[in-house]
Amino acid sequence: MTAHSNIDPTRAQFDAFKSLPRDQPVNMLNLVKLKDAASYADGRSATGAEAYQSYSAESGPIFARVGGEIIWRGSPQAMVIGPENEDWHIAFIARYPTLNAFLEMVTDPAYQAIVFHRQAAVADSRLIAHHDLEGGPGFG
């Protein structure tokens, strides 16, 4: 694990995110590396995978209520380009109807009451916000 783990956004990162247009759909690319053993403040015992499953199960209804949907899920296999020391257990894209919907979810008291499962489970992560672009035949 690196000296600084990326589990929650910094204030500057969250402020930059909140400055994006709030009324457009947003796709959130999630890359997650789990801890072998979850680190719960209350000392409960669980694997990182079990704690993340608790987070997923308990946040799911809130995610659905704000209109979120998983539009792609993958099983990371190999780092083709990128830091060799980065490996991920979970990869998915969560789509929200608007940036405001995402903000509604993460500020919901019910969500805030269960996000500790994610914090206990995750060793490192990336969360990258994307707006849609037109498709086409090329990469650019």
For the chain, list the domains and their CATH numbers.
20-130 (3.30.70.100)
Classify residue 28 as exposed, middle or buried by CB count within 10 Å of its CB (0-12, 13-18, 19+).
middle
Average pLDDT over residues 112-138: 94
pLDDT for the residue numbered 3:
42
| Token duo for residue 58 | 């308990």
| Token duo for residue 1 | 């694990």
DSSP summary character for residue 138: S
The answer on pLDDT for 140 being more than 90 is no
Written as one letter, the residue type at 76 is P
33 or 136, which is more confident? 33
The answer on pLDDT for 133 being more than 70 is yes
